[in-house]
Amino acid sequence: MTYTYTEIPSWKTRLSIGGTCVEFVSCDITEQKDLVADDGLRGTRTRQMERLALGQTHIGGSIVMQPTPADMTLVLPFLLNSGNADLLTDIMQDVTVIVDTFTQASTYVGRFTRGTLSGSPGQPLNLKLDFVGKSASFAGGGTLSTAPDTSNRKYMFADSGSSTALTINSTAYSISKFELVVDNKIVPTYMNGQLPTDLEPTDRICTLSIETRYAVEQALLTLAQAGPVIGSPLAGSIGFTNGTNSMGFTWAAMAAHSRTVSIPGGHQNLRLPLTYDLLGVSTTKEMVTTLV
């Protein structure tokens, strides 16, 4: 029996990153065209259709995933560098994202300007990839006929271990949440045309935000208030083990934003969120990724 759909359910949608279909939670990548209206004075408040023009085309949005080891191996080269998932370089590469909604397949070419990996107790890790594009094309739906690989389970927050989730300054800490951000600060370049011509990164800012127990956070804050120490910077790492696969991030120098605790209303445990800028030292990059 052949089914026809008067509504298109979201479960029918497929997504491809760099030629590989992946399972995803949501995707809001779109193409939008500016309408440039006539703002001149013309003796009436009526705006004429004849005076309307198309302005710039903006392509962008985000993909949210709960990544498997295969997903991390796939997407990290597009976020970090020009080809190797384990390396952080100044050179980036384009990525093609195809969103197939059963009735239309949208193909976007661009780059991942920002990636956010986060976790909280009892949940899978979340990976949000912010995308900025330079071209879009559209075709009939059903072009993505390959199903995503579901043979690997997602990384879980608990894969970091119960007591050694995070290491700072050679001391292991358990944490209640974390957020690791790589921001390439891509600002599209527009020249004569309506589409961007270049998507070059303008900077790279890497940060780590964590929460743990307040007594522990006080000790970390005291350490942070001393400020960055030249010659002996705070180093840290976090790792996850998923069956025979593992993923680790190591940071050469962590400079904390020093902020004392605020007291919320109600009866609840105190928390002092800590945020660290991740910096390079000498020839060592600000973050080293290991995927096994």
pLDDT along the chain (292 residues), means of 10: 68 92 96 91 89 93 97 95 82 95 93 96 96 95 85 92 78 91 95 92 95 82 68 85 93 84 80 88 91 90
- For residue 4, tell me if it sits in a domain: no
Q: How far apart are the first and last CA of the chain?
A: 45
| Tokens describing residue 211 | 């929460």
- For residue 7, tell me if it sits in a domain: no
- For residue 131, tell me if it sits in a domain: yes
> Number of folded domains in the chain?
1
At residue 287's C-alpha, the angle toward residues 69 and 111, to 5°, is: 65
Predicted local distance difference test score (pLDDT) of residue 231: 58
Sign of the CA dihedral 153, 155, 158, 164?
positive
Predicted local distance difference test score (pLDDT) of residue 145: 82
- For residue 44, tell me if it sits in a domain: no
Closest by Cα among 110, 116, 273 to 206: 116
Predicted local distance difference test score (pLDDT) of residue 288: 94
Predicted local distance difference test score (pLDDT) of residue 4: 63
- For residue 1, tell me if it sits in a domain: no
Predicted local distance difference test score (pLDDT) of residue 123: 95
- For residue 147, tell me if it sits in a domain: no
Rounded to two decimals, the pTM is 0.91
Contact 120, 157 (CB under 8 A): yes
Beta strands in the chain (DSSP E): 14-17, 20-22, 26-27, 30-36, 53-65, 95-100, 104-119, 126-140, 166-168, 171-173, 177-183, 205-211, 236-242, 245-251, 253-256, 274-279, 288-291
Predicted local distance difference test score (pLDDT) of residue 146: 85
User: Which residues have a Cβ under 8 Å from the Cβ of 18 and sit 6 or more positions away?
Assistant: 74, 75, 78, 95, 96
- For residue 187, tell me if it sits in a domain: yes
Closest by Cα among 211, 170, 9 to 102: 9
Number of H helices, E strands in the chain: 2, 17
The number of CA neighbours under 13 Å toward the Cβ of 102 is: 11
CA distance 63 to 22: 11
Can you tell me whether residue 104 is helix, strand or coil? Answer: strand
CA distance 108 to 87: 25
Range of the domain at 287: 12-33+52-141+155-263+270-291
| Tokens describing residue 196 | 């961007």
Q: Which residues of 205-216 are buried (b: 16+ CB within 10 A; e: fewer)?
A: ebbbbbbbbeeb
Alpha-carbon separation of residue 268 from 16, 218, 272 (angstroms)? 43, 17, 13
Contact 271, 214 (CB under 8 A): yes
- For residue 150, tell me if it sits in a domain: no
- According to DSSP, the residues that pair with 95 across neighbouring strands are 110
